[in-house]
Amino acid sequence: MTMQAGGGAGGAMDRPSASGLADVIDTILDKGLVIDAFVRVSLVGIELLTVDARIVVASVDTYLRFAEAANRLNLEESRSQGLPDLVEGMEESGAKSKTKGALQAAEDKLGELVGGGDEEEDVEEEEEPRSRRRSRR
């Protein structure tokens, strides 16, 4: 079987692939292979998280938020405010700051759920582990 390291010479490892906890939750919860048959120890705290971290998009609460957003809307305001960078990407660390507001809200929400809630800010800054493939043999 031929296996070759994709993505160039190692540099690709050095950037985070998701820009925050909210993205991580959306990306990994309920995803991936399940090996229930092999699991000998069940860990508490996970089920709760998978259920409650999901935002119910159609609910009275959501409707009230939509209505409030409409209420707050300033109709006199200029209608066209183009966004400077349309795509935030994998390389640019600037992506973090731009989405801070939305991510922060979700992180706070999760913090309450899991009883932590004090260290979210640091989560996205952690160093990257390198499980680098052996150089071509």
Partner 1 sequence: MAHSETGAARAGGKPRDAVVYVYGVVPADVEENPEATGVGEPPSPVKLVRSGEIAALVGEIPSGVALGTPEDLTAHARVLDSAAAEVPVLPLRFGAVVTDLDAVANEFLEPNAESFAGILRDLEGRAQFVLRGRYDGDAMIRELMDEDPRIGQLRGEIHGKPEEVTRDARIALGELIGRAVQAKREADTRVLASALDELGFPVVAGEATNEWDAANVACLVELSRQDELREAAERFAEQQDGRIDLRLLGPMAAYDFVLPAEGSG
In the window 62-101, what residues touch partner 1 (CB under 8 A)? Answer: 62-71, 73-75, 77, 79-83, 86-90, 95, 98-99
Return the closest-CA partner of residue 34 out of 50, 52, 55: 50
**Residue 18 in contact with partner 1, rule: CB under 8 A:** yes
**Taking the complex as a whole, how short is the minimal distance between the CB of residue 64 and partner 1, in angstroms?**
6
Q: What 8-state DSSP symbol labels residue 91? A: S
Report the chain's terminal Cα–Cα distance, integer Å: 13
**Residue 45 in contact with partner 1, rule: CB under 8 A:** yes
Return the closest-CA partner of residue 120 out of 16, 17, 15, 22: 22
**Taking the complex as a whole, how short is the minimal distance between the CB of residue 93 and partner 1, in angstroms?**
13
Per CB under 8 A, contacts with partner 1 among 110-129 are 110-111, 114, 116, 119-120, 123-124, 126, 128-129
**Residue 39 in contact with partner 1, rule: CB under 8 A:** yes
Total interface residues for partner 1 by CB under 8 A: 92
Alpha-carbon span 31 to 45, nearest angstrom: 17
Alpha-carbon span 115 to 68, nearest angstrom: 29
**Residue 51 in contact with partner 1, rule: CB under 8 A:** no
Indicate which single residue of 97, 102, 104, 112 sits in contact with partner 1 (rule: CB under 8 A).
102
- Identify the residue whose tokens are 């995803």: 31
